[in-house]
Structure 1
Amino acid sequence: RYTPPSQTTSVRWKNPSTLASTTSTFDNFWELFEDPLLSELENKALSGNYSYKTALDRVAVARALAGVAKSALYPHISLNAGYDYSQEFVKFHGDKRKTLFPGLKDKLHIWEQDYSFPNIFTYELDLWGKRRSLYKSSIYQAQAEEDRARSMLLTLTCDVASQYFNIRTLDTQLDLLEQIAGLLQTALHLHRHRFASGLDNGLQLASSEKALKDLEAEIEDTLRQRTLFENALATLIGVSPYELNLPRALLSRILPSIPVDLPSTLLKKRPDIAEAERTMASRHALINMAYASYFPSLSLTGGGGISSVQLQDFLNFKGYLWQVGANLVQTIFDAGRNRSGLNAAKASFHYAEDSYKQVVLTAFQEVENALNNLSQQEKQGEKLKQSLQAAQKSAYLAEMRYQRGLVDKLSFIQHQKQALQSERSLANVLGSRYQSTLNLIKALGGSWSRSTAASSEIKRLPPLTYNKRSPS
C-alpha cells in the first residue's frame, strides 16, 4: 500500500525573512513588481516559448498513454465483415469417368462464395490488479508530467524576469557611467586648458585622458552585456533578437515584499516536489503490477455472427453462428523473469524515493540561500546608502567651497565623481537584491495560491474513480 512520503521539516527558517508579510495572493508573481512592460514580456513568453510548448506536448503524450492503459480494463469487441469468392477449373481424364459418372463433362468450372459477419469479444479478467496497477502508474506519470510542466513554467517566468532586471540594472549603470563620463570630459577640458596655459606639466592631462578612455571602454562593455541579456530575453519570449529592442529605463528602488511561510508549507507549493512525489506513486504502482505477474491470467472470448454462401440467406439471418471460450495461463518456468521484473520495479521505486528526498532537501537549501542573500544584501545596501549620503554631503560641501572660490573646479568634480561611484555600488547591490528576490520566489514555488492563472491550460487530470489522488 502506497502512502505519500512524510518529510521531517524544521520549525522555522535558519534565516528568517525581514521583509514585510502580505496576505495578498498572486497567481502571477511578476504582478508584485508593478511593471507593465515586464507583465507584457511574461505574457509573450507564456504564448511563444517553445520549451514550454514542448512541456505541454509531453503532458498531452502522457495523458494519451494513460488513456491507452485505461482501455485495457474493458472488454474489446471487434466486427469483421467478409466476402470470399473463388473459382476453380477442373479437367477429367480416362475412360473410367464415363462409367463411374455418366454424363459428367470433361471440363468443369467450379465457383464458391461466402458471406460472413462475425462479432468477436475478448476480455482478460483483471483478477490480481495487474492492468489496474498499470493504469494507476500511467495516471500518476501523467500527473508528474503536469507538475513538470508547471516547474518549466516557473523557471521560464523567473528567467524572463531575471533577464529583464539584468537589463534594467545595466541601464542604471549606463546612466551613472554617462554622468561620470560628462564629469571626466569637463575635467579633461580643464586639464587641456591648464596645460596650454603652462600650469600643468602634462602628467595630469595624460592621466585625465586615460581615465576618460577607460570609462568609455567600460560603457561599451556594459552595452555589450545589455545586448546579450536582451538577446536571451528575446529567445525566452519566442522571437528573434532582431525583433526585440527594449528602451532604456532605470531600476526601481522599491522591492516587493515576499511572504515566507513555514518550511512545512513548502512541500505543498513547489511543482518539482509534487513531480517527484507523483513519480514515486507511479513507480509504486508498477511494483503491484510486477507482483500480479506471478499469478495466472484468465481471458474470456466469445463470438457471434452470420455466415452464408447465399446473400439472400445472409440477409435473412439463416446462417447464424456463435462461440464462447476461456483461456487460463499460468507461468511455470520463466528463468527468473518475473522475479527480476519485481526487483527492477522495487529498485526503480527506491530510486524515485531517494530522488524525492533529494529534491526536498535542495528546495530547503534554495529557500535558505535566498533568505540569506536578501538579508545580507539588505544590510550591505544600508551601509552603501550611508556611504552614498556621506559622498553626496562631501560633494555638496565641495560645491559650496567652489562657489566661494576656496577650491578649484577640478576638486569639485572629483567629489561629484566619488558620489556617482558610490551610487553605482548601491545600484549593483540593488540589482543583486532583485535577483535574490526572484530566487526566493522561485524557491517558494512562484505563487501564493495553489492554482496558477498562467498555467490554466494545464488542467490536472481528475483523480482515479476508485481512489483518491494519493494512491493505495
Structure 2
Amino acid sequence: MTTRRTLIALACALALAGCAVGPDYKKPQVDMPAAWAPEAPWRPMQPQDAAARGAWWERFGDAQLNALQEKALDGNQTLAIAAARLSQARAQLNVASAGQYPQVGINARAARQRISANRPLTNYNSPNYATVQNDFALGLNVSYELDLFGRVQRSVEGAAASAQQSAADFENTRLLLTAELASNYFNLRELDIELDVVVRAIALQRRALELATSRHDLGATSGLDVAQQQALLDSTLTQVDVLGKQRAQYEHAIATLTGTPAPAFSIAPSTAAIAFPEIPVGVPSDVLERRPDIASAERAMAAANAQIGVASAAFYPSFMLQPAYGVDSRNWGALFNAPSVLWSLGVSATQSLFDAGRLRAGVDFTKAGYEATVAAYRRTVLTAMQEVEDGITGIASLDRAYNQSQAAIASARRVLDLANSRYDGGVTPYLDVITAQQALLNSERQAAQLMGQRLLTSVFLFKALGGDWHERREGQPAPQAQAAAVVASE
C-alpha cells in the first residue's frame, strides 16, 4: 500500500511538470510600411522571411565574381568562426535538452577493509573488535528533476532560441561576406575602367603633344602650346599610379576574403561590361523581414524571454527524484542473493527561505535584459527599412545619372572634334583643345564611377533585403518551421 501511494504521488508530480512559470514568448509588433516611397515596380506583398537567400551575385552575370564567391564561402576564416559558433550553440541545446530526461548511472565497488576497534560504540553492552572483511557492491541509480515549475522547460526554450540565433548570425556573416567581396570586386572593376580611360587619354595626349611639337617646329605655334600639352600629359600620368595603388588594395582585400595569401593572388584587369541586375515587378515592401540580422535579433528576444522563466522558477522549490537499486555483500558468491539486495525510492526538495533579495534581483535583471533585446530588435528593423529605402532610391537616381553621363560623353567627344578642327584651321588657340580633352577625360571617368556606384548600390540593396529578391516557392515552410528545421538538422 505504501509503495502504491508513493507511485501515485510521483505520477501527480509528473503531471504538474508542464506548468512553467514566467511569460510565454510573444513577438513584439513593429510598424512596417505598406510600400516604399518610389513608384512601380515596388508594391506590397507577403513577407518572405523564410525564403532562401540564394546566390544573388549570379544576377550580375560575371563568371569570375561567381568563382570568387564560391572560393570565399569555402575558405573564409570569419565564416569558419561563425560556423564553429553555430556548432557550439547546437551542442549547448543538446546539453539543455538532456535535462528533460532521467540521468541513469551505475556504480560498482570491490574493496577489502579493516574496521577500527576504537571506533565509536553503537552498543555499550557489546565492545568493538577490529574486523577485516571484503565489500562487494553493484548498484543502479537514477536522478531526475521534477520540472514542476518549468525551469528545465524554459532552459530548453532559451537554448533553442540561442541556437536559432546562431544560425541567423551564420547566415548574416555569409551575407556580409558575399556583399563585401562583391563590393571590393566592383570597385576593382570600376578602377580597371578608369585606368583604361586614363591610358587611352594618355595615348591621345601623346599624339596631341607630337602634333603641337611639330607645329611649333614649323613655326606655326608658340612654345606655350607645347608646354600646356606637356603639363596636361604629366598630370594624367600621375593618375595611373594613384589608381593602380587603389586597385592593388581592393585586390589584396579580395585575397583575404577568399582565404588566399595576398602575395599569391592576382586578378587580371578587365573592362568587360557588367550587367545591372533587373528589379522584377513584385518585390515586396516587407521582404526585408527575412534579413538574417532581424531574425537574429528576434531570436535573441525569445532567448531573453526564456531566461525570465528560468529566474522566476528559482522562487519555487526544486524536486529531485533519485531512486536506487543494487546489491551489497561481503562475500562475492552471495552478492546476487536476495538478502544482498538494497534499494531506495524518494524525492528530495530544496527551497530558499531567505536570500536578501537575490532571486528578485535575478528576475529584474532578466526582465531588463529582455527589454534591451526588444529595443535592439526594433532598432534593427528601423535600420533595415532605412537601408532598403536608401537602396531603391539610390538605384533610381544613379540610373538617371548614368544615362546622363553617356550623353555627356557624346557631347564631350563632339566638342573635342570641333576644337581639333578649329585649331587645325587656326581659328582657336590650343587651349581650347586641351580643355576639350580634359572635359572628355572627366566625363568618361565620371561615367565609370557612376557605373561602379550603381553596381555597389545594387549590392547594398541585395544586402539590405537579406539576399536575392525572388518570390517564395510553393510549399515553402513557414518561418518558425524553417528555424526549427535548422536546429533539428544537427
Normalised to the residue count of structure 1, the TM-score between the two structures is: 0.85
User: 1:153: which partner in 2?
Assistant: 174
Q: Which runs of 5+ in 1 are unaligned?
A: 91-107, 452-458, 466-472
How far off its partner does 1:17 sit?
Answer: 6.1
Q: How does 1:35-434 map to 2 (within 5 A)?
A: 35-86=62-113, 111-250=132-271, 252=273, 254-259=275-280, 261-267=283-289, 269-314=290-335, 319-397=340-418, 415=436, 418-434=439-455
- 1:124–1:57 distance in 2 versus 1, CA, 3 Å: same
After the TM superposition, which of the residue ranges 303-312 and 249-258 deviates more from structure 2?
Answer: 249-258
Q: Are the equivalent residues in 1 in contact too, given 2:317–2:350 (CA < 8 A)? A: yes
Q: Are the equivalent residues in 1 in contact too, given 2:228–2:431 (CA < 8 A)? A: no
- 1:209–1:317 distance in 2 versus 1, CA, 3 Å: farther
Q: What code does the residue aligned with 2:287 have?
A: T
Q: Which runs of 5+ in 2 are unaligned?
A: 1-23, 45-50, 118-128, 474-481
After the TM superposition, which of the residue ranges 143-152 and 312-321 deviates more from structure 2?
Answer: 312-321
In 2, Cα distance between equivalents of 1:406 and 1:202:
18
After the TM superposition, which of the residue ranges 298-307 and 352-361 deviates more from structure 2?
Answer: 298-307
In 2, Cα distance between equivalents of 1:251 and 1:390:
23
Secondary structure of residue in 2 paired with 1:294 = coil
Q: What code does the residue aligned with 2:146 have?
A: L
In 2, Cα distance between equivalents of 1:87 and 1:338:
48
Deviations 1:202-243 (A, max 9, x none): 333232222212111111000000000000011111111122
- 1:460–1:440 distance in 2 versus 1, CA, 3 Å: same
In 1, Cα distance between equivalents of 2:285 and 2:196:
41
Secondary structure of residue in 1 paired with 2:144 = strand
- 1:395–1:201 distance in 2 versus 1, CA, 3 Å: closer
Q: Are the equivalent residues in 2 in contact too, given 1:183–1:413 (CA < 8 A)? A: no
Secondary structure of residue in 2 paired with 1:462 = helix
Q: What code does the residue aligned with 1:358 have?
A: R
Q: What code does the residue aligned with 2:449 have?
A: N
Q: Are the equivalent residues in 1 in contact too, given 2:112–2:135 (CA < 8 A)? A: yes
- 1:392–1:212 distance in 2 versus 1, CA, 3 Å: closer
In 1, Cα distance between equivalents of 2:326 and 2:359:
39
Q: Are the equivalent residues in 2 in contact too, given 1:253–1:430 (CA < 8 A)? A: no
Secondary structure of residue in 1 paired with 2:64 = helix
Secondary structure of residue in 2 paired with 1:80 = strand
In 2, Cα distance between equivalents of 1:439 and 1:415:
36
Q: Are the equivalent residues in 2 in contact too, given 1:169–1:251 (CA < 8 A)? A: no
How far off its partner does 1:258 sit?
Answer: 2.6
Q: What code does the residue aligned with 2:188 have?
A: I
Q: What code does the residue aligned with 1:126 have?
A: D
In 1, Cα distance between equivalents of 2:218 and 2:486:
88
Q: Are the equivalent residues in 2 in contact too, given 1:20–1:257 (CA < 8 A)? A: no
In 1, Cα distance between equivalents of 2:425 and 2:232:
28
How far off its partner does 1:169 sit?
Answer: 0.2
Q: Are the equivalent residues in 1 in contact too, given 2:419–2:432 (CA < 8 A)? A: yes
In 2, Cα distance between equivalents of 1:302 and 1:207:
100
How far off its partner does 1:464 sit?
Answer: 9.4
Percentage identity across aligned positions?
Answer: 31
In 2, Cα distance between equivalents of 1:149 and 1:26:
13
In 1, Cα distance between equivalents of 2:440 and 2:235:
19
How far off its partner does 1:198 sit?
Answer: 4.5
Secondary structure of residue in 1 paired with 2:335 = helix
Cα RMSD (Å): 3.1
Secondary structure of residue in 1 paired with 2:323 = strand
User: 1:2: which partner in 2?
Assistant: 25
How far off its partner does 1:165 sit?
Answer: 0.5
How far off its partner does 1:140 sit?
Answer: 0.3
Question: Does structure 1 residue 13 correspond to structure 2 residue 36?
Answer: yes
User: 1:462: which partner in 2?
Assistant: 485
How far off its partner does 1:263 sit?
Answer: 2.5
Q: Are the equivalent residues in 1 in contact too, given 2:325–2:343 (CA < 8 A)? A: yes
After the TM superposition, which of the residue ranges 325-334 and 80-89 deviates more from structure 2?
Answer: 80-89
After the TM superposition, which of the residue ranges 192-201 and 437-446 deviates more from structure 2?
Answer: 192-201
In 1, Cα distance between equivalents of 2:155 and 2:91:
14
Q: What code does the residue aligned with 2:102 have?
A: P
How far off its partner does 1:366 sit?
Answer: 0.5
In 1, Cα distance between equivalents of 2:64 and 2:274:
17
User: 1:95: which partner in 2?
Assistant: none
Q: What code does the residue aligned with 1:299 have?
A: M
Secondary structure of residue in 2 paired with 1:436 = helix
Q: Are the equivalent residues in 2 in contact too, given 1:258–1:441 (CA < 8 A)? A: no
In 1, Cα distance between equivalents of 2:43 and 2:72:
30
Q: What code does the residue aligned with 2:456 have?
A: Q
Secondary structure of residue in 1 paired with 2:322 = strand
Q: What code does the residue aligned with 1:216 have?
A: L
Secondary structure of residue in 1 paired with 2:319 = strand
After the TM superposition, which of the residue ranges 326-335 and 195-204 deviates more from structure 2?
Answer: 195-204
How far off its partner does 1:191 sit?
Answer: 3.2
Q: Are the equivalent residues in 2 in contact too, given 1:125–1:300 (CA < 8 A)? A: yes
